């Protein structure tokens, strides 16, 4: 007999789920938690394999969390791409909502960046440029596919990019706040996302399109290749104000001035991706991806 789930409608305690069974999956270990729920490693009894399970309390702290949860599962279910984490199933236990998906055994890109930052040798504090390009060519290809399917991710950041340990395949994860043409709920008046990576128009809660994701991917690529973002302002409030009122004041210097291994050609690509004006950014993830690819090819010819 399996133990019962004790889930308070007011307090969600993910640690209490360890060892419990939910929808045919035994919860083994928590991988991380966010504002609406938590992600766990679980064992799927029917196929005898480890998977990942995202669990939300049905009475969540975010308005319409149940609708948002369902939308995430249905959104990812239509995205069949080798660099998008596939969803297996979704369910409802009465108190809890869950999505089961492929377990990507490895690290998120944010953790990898921080690990490089801690290296004692200054020349080894950065992910090699060629590796950064390989990662983002895959992620931008996945993003281009999502956009073609009418899906805008809205929360692209290094923490939502997973790198598989065995094959080093990058995966775009966490479509929890994605918008699609199929989404029923309205998000009017509510801004979701991570301020450092959000586009100015997303922060203003204006109507966003694929170019908002391009900005977020550009900020993520910049941080990946540079190790850190050279932000002039540090607090969330000042980042918000800089992005909305004076985007040029956001950074202390140009990318090539911040990190010598970023040459002028790569700087052009980075700066175009993070332009405050959507009309001046790349107009598609495919164009951003192709520019990185052509830069890599020219770089190889110079070696």
Enzyme catalytic residues: 155
How far apart, in Å, are the Cα atoms of 73 and each of 82, 173, 179, 186, 302?
A: 17, 12, 12, 17, 45
List, in order, residues 6 or more apart from 48 with CB less than 8 Å away: none
DSSP letter (8 states) at residue 232: S
CB 180 within 8 Å of CB 125:
no
CB 48 within 8 Å of CB 42:
no
List, in order, residues 6 or more apart from 155 with CB less than 8 Å away: 174, 176, 177, 178, 192, 193, 194, 197, 216
Counted residue by residue, the chain has a size of 303
HSE-up of 165 (CA within 13 Å, CB side)? Answer: 6
SS3 268: helix
DSSP letter (8 states) at residue 281: S
**How many Cβ atoms from other residues are within 10 Å of residue 154's Cβ?**
22
């Amino acid at each position: 007999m399996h133990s019962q789930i004790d889930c308070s409608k007011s307090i969600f305690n993910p640690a209490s789920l360890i060892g419990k069974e939910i929808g045919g999956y035994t919860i083994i270990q928590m991988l991380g938690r966010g504002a609406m729920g938590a992600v766990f490693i679980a064992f799927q009894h029917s196929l005898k394999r480890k998977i990942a399970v995202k669990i939300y309390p049905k009475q969540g702290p975010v308005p319409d969390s149940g609708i948002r949860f369902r939308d995430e599962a249905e959104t990812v279910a239509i995205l069949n791409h080798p660099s998008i984490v596939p969803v297996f199933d979704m369910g409802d236990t009465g108190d809890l909502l869950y999505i089961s998906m492929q377990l990507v055994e490895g690290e998120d890109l944010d953790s990898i960046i921080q690990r490089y930052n801690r290296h004692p040798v200054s020349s080894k504090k950065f992910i090699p440029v060629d590796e950064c390009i390989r990662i983002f060519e895959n992620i931008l290809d996945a993003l281009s596919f999502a956009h073609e399917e009418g899906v805008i991710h809205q929360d692209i950041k290094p923490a939502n990019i997973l790198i598989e340990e065995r094959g080093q395949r990058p995966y775009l994860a966490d479509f929890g706040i994605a918008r699609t043409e199929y989404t029923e709920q309205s998000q009017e008046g509510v801004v979701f996302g991570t301020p450092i990576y959000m586009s100015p128009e997303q922060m203003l809660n204006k109507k966003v399109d694929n170019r908002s994701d391009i900005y977020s991917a550009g900020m993520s690529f910049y941080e990946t290749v540079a190790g850190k973002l050279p932000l002039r302002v540090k607090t969330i409030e000042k980042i918000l104000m800089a992005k909305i009122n004076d985007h040029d004041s956001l950074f202390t210097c140009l990318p090539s001035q911040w990190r010598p291994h970023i040459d002028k050609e790569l700087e052009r690509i980075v700066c175009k991706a993070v332009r405050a004006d959507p009309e001046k950014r790349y107009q598609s993830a495919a164009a951003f991806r192709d520019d990185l690819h052509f830069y890599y090819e020219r770089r190889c010819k110079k070696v």
